[in-house]
Amino acid sequence: MVAETVERAGGVAAASGTPWGRVGAAARRARTALLWFVGIRLAGAACVAAWAWRTGRHPRSLLGGSWDSQWYLSIARHGYGMAAPDGRWPDVPGADLAFFPLFPWLVRGVGAVLPVHPLTAGLIVAWGAALLAAWGIFAVGEHLHGRRTGTLLVVLWAVLPHAVVESLAYTEALLTALSAWALYAALSGRFLWAGALAALAGLARPSALAIVAAVQAAVAVRAWRQWRRGARRSAPGGRAPDGHVPGRRLCAAALLAPVGWLGYVLWVGRRTGRGPLGYFAVQARWGSRFDFGRDALRAVRRLVLLGAPPAYLMALAVVAVALLLYVLLAADRPPAAVLGYVTVLVVLALGGTGYFASKPRFLLPAFPLLLPAALALARARRRTTAVITGGLAALSLGYGPYLLTLAAMPL
């Protein structure tokens, strides 16, 4: 089924002729998934807006200026080195260096082109990135398991309990968009595109290490397979075998992928005078470091023994389900790039200290975790699929406003 789907998709694209024709054909295949995504997330934004008005807040301020959004918008307006946006944040030198620059750059670019408020510019970037992310998620799902699974993968990503983050001026949607398309490029043999997109992702969030690892894993697997079948030798007639990727292109992709992440980390080190470890010193000021999950285990123990507010219990439930889905995904033996991407994201999200309630947000870019559920729903009766996705949507639409207005915790 996968081969037939890919062949069918490739035939449509080839028939379209021009690059724009191929993009149009891909968009038409993804149309149903994107319409579902837009409808669900617009409903989520409407729920947030209704609750914002009820509590005397402006919806734009709630969606575009909550928590980390304030830092990104401050960087977009003033650059790095400014004071904390308000008194809730640590006002220490260099605290804003913890936030990667791609999102602020895009916000500044939108503000330079359109006469809009910075909050609006941030939402334009975030919502555009979320739409591109949904399209990329569909592309990966369709490539691996067909169009229905790709559509359900997008729907499940849209109805996650913490999916309200996809509508905020946060960077998770941007990282997911770049990672999804980089992953698709790697899976379909477009390695230079994969490396370039991974390099861009490296400027979005520190967890972009996951897509860097995924691209390099895909390169390593392709190089190994080509070496084993002797693809380096020319086929009869002087042509390389079908699917052969020149070694220099594979090397270029592997070297290009980490450029964005390494570039920013080294720049922070130079700016702080701490060398290559400067960025990690900045993270330590925020109480964030990697301890192989010991802090997370202590948090789980406290939650189980002492109880906690609903948001923390929901975070615990999401983490538990994510681990179960990871086991199911690994058992299905996905491509190395997919498994490597998810593995690094899960390790980074669960192995870091502090912010336990934010771990579901850190896991949002790990959309391949939803593949086992999407496959199960694709095989289920349509009524069963509708009931399950409808119930998840109701939970997500109700939980989003709670997270933004009632939960006394950083998102």
For the stretch 294-349, pLDDT in tens is 888 988 888 888 878 888 899 999 999 999 999 999 999 999 999 999 999 999 99
In a domain, 238, yes or no: no
The CA-to-CA distance between both ends of the chain, in Å, stands at 40
Residue 161 corresponds to which tokens in the numbers above?
């309990």
Summarised one tens digit per residue, pLDDT across range 53-88 is 888 888 888 898 888 899 999 999 989 886 555 555
Confidence of residue 237 (pLDDT cuts 50, 70, 90): very low
- The number of beta carbons lying within 10 Å of the beta carbon of residue 142 is 25
The pLDDT of residue 13 is 41
Q: Identify the three-state secondary structure at position 170.
A: coil
CA 138 from centroid of its chain's CA atoms: 13
In a domain, 236, yes or no: no
- The least confident of 63-77, 102-116, 238-252, 311-325 is 238-252
In a domain, 237, yes or no: no
Rounded CA-CA distance 326/347 in Å is 11
Residue 51 corresponds to which tokens in the numbers above?
């609750």
Report whether pLDDT(16) > 70: no
The pLDDT of residue 385 is 96
pLDDT > 90: what percent of the chain?
Answer: 63
In a domain, 411, yes or no: no
Summarised one tens digit per residue, pLDDT across range 369-390 is 999 999 999 999 999 999 999 9
In a domain, 309, yes or no: yes
In a domain, 192, yes or no: yes
Which amino acid is present at 135? W
Residue 251 corresponds to which tokens in the numbers above?
């090397």
- The least confident of 132-141, 173-182, 284-293, 321-330 is 284-293
The pLDDT of residue 92 is 59
Residue 151 corresponds to which tokens in the numbers above?
């559509």
The pLDDT of residue 246 is 82
Question: Which domain does 110 fall in, by range?
Answer: 2-231+245-405
Higher pLDDT, 206 or 236: 206
Name the residue with tokens 């490396």: 195
In a domain, 239, yes or no: no
Question: Vertex 350, ends 346 and 355: CA angle to 5°?
Answer: 130
Work out how many domains the chain is built from and give that number. Answer: 1
- The least confident of 8-22, 213-227, 272-286 is 8-22
Residue 66 corresponds to which tokens in the numbers above?
């909550």
In a domain, 410, yes or no: no
Phi/psi of residue 88, nearest 5 degrees: -75, -10
Which amino acid is present at 264? Y
CB 3 within 8 A of CB 145: no
For residue 352, what are the β-bridge partners?
290
Report whether pLDDT(242) > 70: no
The alpha-helical segments, DSSP class H, found in 229-358 are 247-256, 259-272, 278-285, 294-306, 310-331, 336-351
Give CA separation, 250 vs 220, 244, 260, 281, 334, in Å: 8, 10, 18, 34, 21
Rounded CA-CA distance 272/264 in Å is 12
Q: What pTM did the predictor assign?
A: 0.90
Residue 407 corresponds to which tokens in the numbers above?
């939960």
Which amino acid is present at 254? A
Average pLDDT over residues 90-94: 59
The pLDDT of residue 255 is 96
Q: Is the dihedral of CA 216, 241, 7, 331 positive or negative?
A: negative
Report whether pLDDT(127) > 60: yes
